[in-house]
Chain A
């Protein structure tokens, strides 16, 4: 019988297997329960594909979307509806990056302890600030483009407004072959030619790689001959130091720096700064940017160094880079969920602290010298503009930067399609948005 007793332990192996599998399931449940719940065929969460219950509020508690008895309604204010449309999503589900679809578990009030047992659903606090969104939407007016504002200490996205937009309570008929990209959240999902805002990348690379760069004198005749072609400036800037080259946004000086640094180095920086890869905002992946120059093409490399040629950048990635400069080189993990504080925020060091410390006064100088402090009253603004040529005489008007203000740690990027001059078009939009943000 002793033998039979020993052999019965074989059954214990099956018991151990069951215990192991159960443990495996519990871990999976803890990790993925929210995603499982958000499955649109889950009858506990949806009726006829629509969320059963819940509410989305902005960071100040303003209701942006609420579901009662399976019927969802947006804000009663039309500007709010239009400005937050791309962040929330439309009823038909055409805007896949909308919170209604991406954060269904939170809206339903899911938590691993109580599951979906929460009569009336949950309240999902987004990081958005509806005031800032409204200001951005109004400032953009009927132009296409995007405005994004992030808190560079917490990584919260305060504003990600995209135009053209529409009223989700009165959706327009959109042809299936429509190319306006009305369903796209341009702040996250559109990659634009960055133009001169990209000079910040070339600048940072030069500061870290070229000895004595801060003392070097640059000379600009209005043209820079390279690789059988020319890089041109709108006018001859004459002799200048590095900070003036930036403030003047001198293409010749930065084209020269780009060639000196080489394509591989610049590409490495664009990558390190998160401009070329897809960034994640919680579960949303942004579009990827682009920086590609064949090694031998020095003319294209020079243009790439000033944000032209094949360069592409998303507004959110640019805002994140500006935030990193403000935050001594550390970029926070981005989120659309409200965070109480910056406790437990995950940072990634993308830039040496000393480099960020050198760039900050230069961007300050840009504002004082070129854009005019009086145009941004009361703001500790650091910014760089960009007027990116996109062919056919059209330009993207960029304005990106941050507030060097611990009370208002905001970084931003504004991009207006066919917008004309960066500082003249995007600058005032940035001012309007930032004034709403610091209010």
Chain B
């Protein structure tokens, strides 16, 4: 403190703000653009796990662990022969490098080494496989092939160095800290400068861990940390007492991030979590429903040993574990029905807790998962229609929900009633202009729940509309990155999980931002990583781990197992095959 006073920050608040309000958006813009370019452009060479030699001599590369063989154009291995069914067979690889083939109810049948198969059958490199009488040869990549391929593939962080971007983010965070310290003046809580310094330490700690694991992709983390910095800026203005707790939750979130990321490395291990996760998720919701106290209208808080948290935040992670599925399961309708049941129970519990915002988030995520699993518009359509009916019944039964919809789009007609939060959000956001009034120098943060439900307004007011747009852009970039990654993910499990994780974040973002601006109904969900709130912060980092696990760029992600150094064999299996 003495140190800070000696710099006479307090007296120079005006001058500091005059400079920082221009530097901060500029830095943020460069940070976001650097991450976007690094994540969304590049050569994008895929991994190659083997190939199928076709009768005409052509080779069809297998770029995923899960490949559909069929006549249809949407197959990964397209065989344009009449005897081949549209969706004929699946070729899958496991974590250990073992391949197998499974017939998907084809008309012409599948033969391995001359034998007709009716259950998943192991494949060895060089095996002949017949799909509907079309004879092909399967060749798996060797460890050497994989190493050669790895050398060819572009590593992230070479064109655009994440270390430099992180330095910019460091500067960004430190300027925020200085500015808040100056703005607080005599009332400065010592946690304000300490927190911003701690943030920088946490960021670099994560970076070093990543480097130590020989991974070079760090853009996802930088975007997340950018949002975290903005969120802490809001919190430093609205509730500096809460900074310590937020910091602890950030640490917990990062632990969860690395744990889930590490866990997802092993596909077999990850998919085995499905049932336990479904049980944990439903359990949490039911315990919550039975025991939770109602805070701020929604009955979604649970208190254990003096710590209050929102179980529904963590159920999001369970939901994704349960919804994601490997290719083999996509063809069993029974599996989808089980998931539909689980989803319906989750959404129902949330609706019963009157947490309609979170229920909406789960529902949208459910639709995305259901569509990615089934590819069926009918499934999606039926779900939407069914839920629409349910929602209608709920709304007529609960008048206060109806009231919320009644003021939607007319906030300015009810500025002291149903439009209370929205009108203040818009007024505060407009007051900030493009560059903001300076961190901690706004007024909106004094309005109840401004740092959670109306956080976009506080960001725009204090840091400007440019910053507000960049926070939205950061989430959108993560989402587009996940969509791109979905194509090259090793298993559909990762593709679906990453898509579902970003759907959760996107839906929250849209409901939070545009609800507070009276463009959508006001629901009171959090802006991922920016809104104050420990449970949400921790859970969002859990979600990000799923995105990380779909990032198959060369040496990009700690959540992806790197290439084999040498051939791995399971002697027992070899022997069994020899027999």
Contacts and interface: CB of A to CB of B under 8 A. Distances in A.
Interface in B14-42: 14, 21
Contact of B479 (A4, A11, A21, A116): A11
Interface stretch (A32-40, A235-243, A296-304): A32-40
Interface in B47-88: 63-64, 66-68, 74-76
Nearest to B371: A10
B536 interface: no
Contact of A117 (B437, B469, B509): B437
Contacts of B327: 1
A37 B68 contact: no
Interface in A1-53: 1-12, 14-15, 17-19, 21-22, 24-26, 28-29, 32-34, 36-37, 39, 41-45
A1 B437 CA distance: 49
Nearest to A14: B506
A25 to B, nearest CB: 6
Contacts of A22: 469, 472, 513
Contacts of B434: 112-115
Contacts of B426: 36, 39
Given A1-B487, A44-B427, A115-B434, A7 B375 contact: yes
Given A9-B483, A15-B480, A24-B519, A117 B21 contact: yes
B76 A2 contact: yes
A36 B496 CA distance: 42
A111 interface: yes
Interface stretch (B131-139, B182-190, B440-448, B561-569): B440-448
A347 B446 CA distance: 46
A344 interface: no
A14 B510 contact: yes
B443 A21 contact: no
The size bracket of the interface on B is: 35 or more
B168 interface: no
Interface in A179-201: none
A203 to B, nearest CB: 45
Contact of A21 (B66, B435, B519): B519
A119 interface: yes
A18 to B, nearest CB: 5
Contacts of A6: 74
A15 to B, nearest CB: 5
Given A22-B469, A37-B427, A43-B446, A14 B433 contact: no
Interface string B390-426: 0000000000000000000000000110000001101
Given A44-B431, A114-B433, A117-B433, A7 B371 contact: yes
A143 to B, nearest CB: 41
B193 interface: no
Contacts of A116: 431-433, 437
Nearest to A112: B433
A3 B68 contact: yes
Contacts of B499: 8, 10-11
Interface in A357-399: none
A117 B435 contact: yes
A5 B535 CA distance: 31
Contact of A19 (B68, B368, B476): B476
B430 A33 contact: yes
A162 B299 CA distance: 58
Contacts, number: 171
Interface residues of A, number: 44
A25 B433 contact: no
B476 A15 contact: yes
A68 to B, nearest CB: 17
A95 B68 CA distance: 75
B458 to A, nearest CB: 11
B509 A18 contact: yes
B514 interface: yes
Contacts of A25: 513-514, 517, 519
- Chain A interface mostly: helix
B487 A5 contact: yes
Contacts of B64: 1
A43 B444 contact: yes
B427 A41 contact: yes
Nearest to B73: A2
A233 B483 CA distance: 86
B423 A39 contact: yes
A36 to B, nearest CB: 4
A366 B502 CA distance: 78
A12 B480 contact: yes
Contacts of B66: 1
Contacts of A45: 427, 431
B146 interface: no
B74 to A, nearest CB: 5
B9 interface: no
A8 B437 contact: no
B368 A44 contact: no
A33 B461 CA distance: 12
Given A18-B476, A36-B427, A113-B434, A4 B415 contact: no
Contact of A111 (B433, B437, B476): B433
Residue picked from B66, B430, B496, most chain A C-beta under 10 Å: B430
A137 B68 CA distance: 89
Contacts of A29: 429-430, 465
Given A1-B64, A15-B480, A21-B510, A115 B432 contact: yes
Contacts of A44: 427-428, 431-432, 437, 442-444, 461
Contacts of B429: 29, 36
10 closest residue pairs by CB, A with B:
A115-B433, A43-B443, A5-B487, A8-B486, A44-B431, A42-B427, A33-B430, A1-B64, A36-B430, A39-B427
23 contacts: A1-B63, A2-B68, A2-B74, A4-B495, A6-B74, A15-B479, A21-B510, A26-B469, A28-B519, A33-B430, A36-B427, A37-B427, A37-B431, A41-B415, A41-B416, A44-B427, A44-B442, A45-B431, A110-B431, A113-B433, A113-B435, A114-B434, A116-B431
Interface of A: 1-12, 14-15, 17-19, 21-22, 24-26, 28-29, 32-34, 36-37, 39, 41-45, 110-117, 119
Given A12-B480, A112-B430, 11 more contacts: A3-B375, A4-B495, A14-B506, A18-B476, A18-B509, A22-B469, A24-B519, A25-B519, A28-B519, A42-B443, A44-B428
